[in-house]
Amino acid sequence: MVRTALVTGATSGIGAATVRALAGAGWQVVATGRRAERLDALTRELPEGQVHTAVFDVTDARARDVAIDALPEAFRGIDLLVNNAGLALGTAPAQEAKPGDWETMIATNVSALVAITRRLLPRLVERRGGIVNLSSVAASYPYTGGNVYGATKAFVRQFSLGLRSDLAGTGVRVTSIEPGMVETEFTTVRTGGDKAASNKLYAGADPMTAQDIAATILWVASLPPHLNINALELMPVSQSFAGFQVARD
Site string for ligand 8X3, 176-215 (x = CB under 6 A): ----xx----------------------------------
Question: CB of 138: closest distance to ligand 8X3 in angstroms?
Answer: 4
Residues 6 or more apart whose CB falls under 8 angstroms from that of 12 comprise 33, 35, 38, 184, 185
Member of 50, 57, 77, 125 binding ligand NDP (CB under 6 A)? 57
**Phi, psi of 79, rounded to the nearest 5 degrees:** -100, -20
Member of 189, 201, 215, 235 binding ligand NDP (CB under 6 A)? 189
Residue numbers annotated as active site: 149
Member of 7, 137, 163, 172 binding ligand 8X3 (CB under 6 A)? 137
How many residues bind to ligand NDP according to rule CB under 6 A? 28
How many residues bind to ligand 8X3 according to rule CB under 6 A? 6
Member of 136, 152, 160, 184 binding ligand 8X3 (CB under 6 A)? 136
Q: What's the rounded Cα separation, in Å, for the pair 214 and 151?
A: 24
Strands of 89-201, DSSP E: 130-134, 173-179, 182-183
Stretch that binds ligand 8X3, among 9-17, 30-38, 135-143, 162-170 (CB under 6 A): 135-143
Is 138 a residue that touches ligand 8X3 (CB under 6 A)? yes
Q: Is 88 helix (H, G, I), strand (E, B) or coil?
A: coil
Nearer to ligand 8X3, 90 or 146 (CB): 146
Q: What's the rounded Cα separation, in Å, for the pair 146 and 186?
A: 14
Residue 141 Ramachandran class (φ > 0 left, ψ -120 to 50 alpha, else beta):
beta
Q: What single-letter DSSP state applies at residue 108? A: I
How crowded is residue 95: how many other Cβ atoms within 10 Å of its Cβ? Answer: 6
Stretch that binds ligand NDP, among 6-14, 66-74, 194-202, 215-223 (CB under 6 A): 6-14
Q: What's the rounded Cα separation, in Å, for the pair 232 and 2?
A: 26
Stretch that binds ligand NDP, among 9-17, 41-49, 222-230, 237-245 (CB under 6 A): 9-17
Report the candidate in 114, 116, 91 with the shortest Cα–Cα distance to residue 101: 91
What's the sign of the alpha-carbon dihedral 139, 140, 145, 151?
Answer: positive
Nearer to ligand NDP, 168 or 237 (CB): 237
Sites of contact with ligand NDP (CB under 6 A): 9-15, 33-35, 57-59, 84-87, 108, 134, 136, 179, 181-182, 184-186, 189, 210
Sites of contact with ligand 8X3 (CB under 6 A): 136-138, 146, 180-181
